[in-house]
Amino acid sequence: MENTINSAWIKKLFEKSSDITIRPIKINQNNITAHLFCVDGLVNQELFDEAVLKSIKFDSYLADCRTERETIDYLLEGGAYDAFTTEVSDYQKLLKNVLSGMAALIFDAEKKAVVYDLRKFEKRSIQEPTEENVMKGSKESFIEVLRMNTALIRRRLRSEYLVIEQLYAGRLSKTDIALVYLSNIANANTVNKIRSIIKSIDIDNVSTPAFIEEYLVENKLSIFPQIMYTQRPDRVSANLSDGRIALVVDGIPFVYILPCQLPMLMQSPDDYANHFLVGSSLRVIRYISMILTLFLPAFYIAATTYQNQMLPVQLALSTQAAKQNVPFSSAVEVLGLLISFEILIEAGLRLPQAVGTAMSILGGLVVGQSAVAANLISPAVVVIVALAGISGFIMPNQDLSSGIRLTRFVMALLASFAGFFGLAAGLILLVTHLCSLDNYGTAYMSPFVDVEERNIKDTVFRFPVKYFIKRPEDVAGQNSIKQGTGRADR
């Protein structure tokens, strides 16, 4: 395979591709000819005519260039009507740039190319986030174009320490990935580790975000999310200022944040947009909802099947009366209804939006009421599963919600086999698993497992902003002062 830049070889390589343009352009009367190399549809036609064709035809100084080297130097020193013109001598880099939407002039004698950044992508406008809306706050969200997303971050962090490294993954797709961090705050070891992981990704095509996530996640057998994603530029900038690292992937309308801890997944932008007492109340409701959705179905199975005496007398009598004509056990009722609930969710997602909404209402109301009337399930089970299902949707992070829903099934199964002993065993295993997770040198349950007072002021309760004096030491490293005196960047 040809390793040097040569227009004849490139033309042969793309001879069957109708969208690739490779044609000679005469520079001046000194027999200097360059070959244009670009992709039709990815290049901005107006900028191309202005910066390339027009400048070559009407620039009288090009007539004085007697060699290709002189021509290249003149174009790079201002002769090209494009601020982002660069010289490329690497064959693979030239292919990547042009196939990304740039235009190149190939000079065969010098075996080099002058690359113009004239990319044009059909992209949607910056819109309001669909998953992280706030009443008071920014209405901007990321889109699928990497450079636009990095610009949104740069606009909010106007610091000279903000670093945006350009990487890529995928042998065929060559997907652009931006590694974003604050060099004076982020832990250098964590940055180096993430960079090396991205460079080691050996895959043909990065067609879905899960491909990137599977390489970055250290504990691959855990169903709980260890990478946080967000659509909001302001949330990314806040985490960067805490010492965390962001990954912007071209073609994905959200940004990854590392390292990630469980309390981060329970936070919402509304917590900081409202009064700290209101934000704290919302967080307490989320944690209560997480406990309900995890343990309520399992508790009902254990209480009604093995330990009826755990329930108040009136409640025990009413549940037994409701189950009198139902032919199934509590475990079968709860597990069957949980599975039906998941089926309704999946059906609602796969169908068109209008049909999916109507189907969910039909399944939830009509089918559920008919099942109760037919004595297939008891009314108490419908209430328990509905309350657990709704509580699971309160989670701000959908990956966390999916992990909790799967864990809910495990808890219900353990309670079906061993009652409260199974439920207690499941709780011990869950806490042990969560406490054993390590995310780039940071405990997944941090700051609940820390002893430092600084780390507990933005967890279950949100303290006023004046108390956010220090950053997490295990994330930010030595530069831990966030506000007030003693800051390293003063």
Stretch among 155-159, 201-205, 350-354, 438-442 having the lowest mean pLDDT = 350-354
pLDDT at 140 over 90: no
C-alpha–C-alpha distance, residues 247 and 146, integer Å: 10
Given a contact cutoff of 8 angstroms between Cβ atoms, the answer to whether 112 and 89 are in contact is: yes
484: confidence class by pLDDT, cuts 50, 70, 90: low
The single-letter DSSP state of residue 175 is: E
C-alpha–C-alpha distance, residues 181 and 487, integer Å: 18
Q: Which residues contact 2 (CB under 8 A, 6 or more apart)?
A: 9, 91
Given a contact cutoff of 8 angstroms between Cβ atoms, the answer to whether 314 and 297 are in contact is: no
225 preceded by a cis bond (ω within 30 of 0) = no
- Greater model confidence, 472 or 451: 472
Angle at 472 between CA 188 and CA 257, to 5 degrees: 65
- Closest of 49, 210, 25 to residue 116, by C-alpha: 49
The identity of residue 308, as a single letter, is: N
Q: Where are the domains of the chain?
A: 7-116, 146-260, 272-439
pLDDT at 479 over 90: no
pLDDT at 487 over 60: no
Given a contact cutoff of 8 angstroms between Cβ atoms, the answer to whether 107 and 56 are in contact is: no
pLDDT of residue 1: 46
C-alpha–C-alpha distance, residues 452 and 480, integer Å: 13
For 80-137, write each residue's pLDDT tens digit: 777 778 888 888 888 888 888 888 989 988 888 988 888 776 667 777 777 777 777 7
Angle at 319 between CA 316 and CA 324, to 5 degrees: 120
483: confidence class by pLDDT, cuts 50, 70, 90: low
Residue 219 sits at φ, ψ, to 5 deg, of: -105, 85
Residue 471, helix vs strand vs coil = coil
* 412-439 mean pLDDT: 91
119: Cα separation from own chain's centroid: 25
- Closest of 238, 249, 258, 265 to residue 187, by C-alpha: 258
pLDDT of residue 353: 65
- Greater model confidence, 353 or 185: 185
pLDDT at 324 over 90: no
The identity of residue 437, as a single letter, is: L
Q: How is 109-172 classified by DSSP, letter by letter? A: TTTEEEEE--B----PPP---SSS--SSS------S-HHHHHHHHHHH---TTEEEEEEEE-TT
For 29-73, write each residue's pLDDT tens digit: 667 888 889 888 888 887 888 778 877 777 777 777 888 888 888
- Greater model confidence, 223 or 486: 223
pLDDT of residue 357: 62
The single-letter DSSP state of residue 481 is: B
- Beta strand 112-116 with 86-88 is antiparallel
pLDDT at 430 over 90: yes
351 CB-contact burial (10 Å; exposed 0-12 / middle 13-18 / buried 19+): middle
* 289-297 mean pLDDT: 93
For 174-229, write each residue's pLDDT tens digit: 888 999 999 888 888 899 999 999 988 888 888 777 788 888 888 888 899 999 99
For 363-391, write each residue's pLDDT tens digit: 666 666 777 766 778 888 888 888 898 88
Supply the mean pLDDT for the chain: 83
Q: Which residues pair with 228 in a beta bridge?
A: 257
- Tokens representing 260 are 């990630």
pLDDT of residue 490: 47
Helix axes 276-305, 379-392, angle to 10 degrees: 150
Given a contact cutoff of 8 angstroms between Cβ atoms, the answer to whether 30 and 66 are in contact is: yes
C-alpha–C-alpha distance, residues 150 and 165, integer Å: 10
pLDDT of residue 404: 92
287: confidence class by pLDDT, cuts 50, 70, 90: very high
Kindly report the length of the chain: 490
146: Cα separation from own chain's centroid: 13
pLDDT of residue 365: 64
- Tokens representing 369 are 């009421």
C-alpha–C-alpha distance, residues 459 and 468, integer Å: 12
Residue 182, helix vs strand vs coil = strand
Residue 314, helix vs strand vs coil = helix
pLDDT at 259 over 80: yes
Stretch among 56-60, 236-240, 260-264, 397-401 having the lowest mean pLDDT = 56-60
Render the burial of 9-28: b for 16+ CB within 10 Å, e for the rest. ebeeebeeeeebbbeeeebb
pTM here?
0.82
Given a contact cutoff of 8 angstroms between Cβ atoms, the answer to whether 392 and 401 are in contact is: yes
